[in-house]
């Protein structure tokens, strides 16, 4: 299995006793995302290439801005301090570590 949903399904299968062993993994390779080129005739003066990582991976499809801004905007909207954000990251990391060692 590969992907976040598959990790969840593997954990669920183990917890329910349907499996004794489950293997789930994932991989990202942001450096291998291609550049995109529009189809059709090549215009005089060159072609326009679009960075696939920025276009498909790091741009919010609804608001058309960089995904890094989503976290900043949410924190500002709900008054979440940088310290609270770091605290949440530490808590989630500890939960994941604990969950990992349970299996």
Residues 54 and 24 in one domain: no
Q: Let me know if residue 76 belongs to a domain.
A: yes
**Residues 57 and 103 reside in one and the same domain:** yes
Is the confidence at residue 1, as pLDDT, over 60?
A: no
* Spatial separation of the C-alpha atoms in residues 36 and 50, rounded to whole Å: 5
Q: Is residue 40 part of a domain?
A: no
Is 101 found in the same domain as 58? yes
Query: Which letter does DSSP use for residue 87 in this model?
Result: H
Q: What is the pLDDT of residue 40?
A: 84
pTM: 0.47
pLDDT above 60: residue 64 = yes
Tokens (6 digits) for 70:
């989503």
State how far the Cα of 32 lies from the Cα of 37, in Å rounded to an integer: 16
Domain extent, residue 74, equals: 50-103
Per the structure, the count of domains in the chain is: 2
pLDDT band at 2 (very low <50, low <70, confident <90, very high): very low
Closest to 89 (Cα-Cα) out of 101, 75, 78:
75
Identify whether residues 58 and 88 lie together within a single domain.
yes
């Amino acid at each position: 299995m590969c992907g976040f949903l598959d990790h969840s399904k593997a954990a669920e299968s183990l917890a329910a006793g349907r499996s004794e062993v489950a293997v789930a993994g994932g991989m990202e390779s942001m450096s291998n995302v291609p550049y995109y080129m529009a189809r059709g005739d090549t215009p005089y003066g060159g072609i326009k290439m679009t960075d696939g990582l920025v276009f498909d991976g790091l741009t919010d499809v609804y608001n058309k801005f960089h995904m890094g801004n989503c976290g900043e905007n949410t924190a500002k909207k709900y008054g979440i301090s940088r310290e609270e954000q770091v605290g949440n990251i530490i808590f989630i990391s500890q939960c994941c570590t604990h969950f990992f060692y349970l299996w």
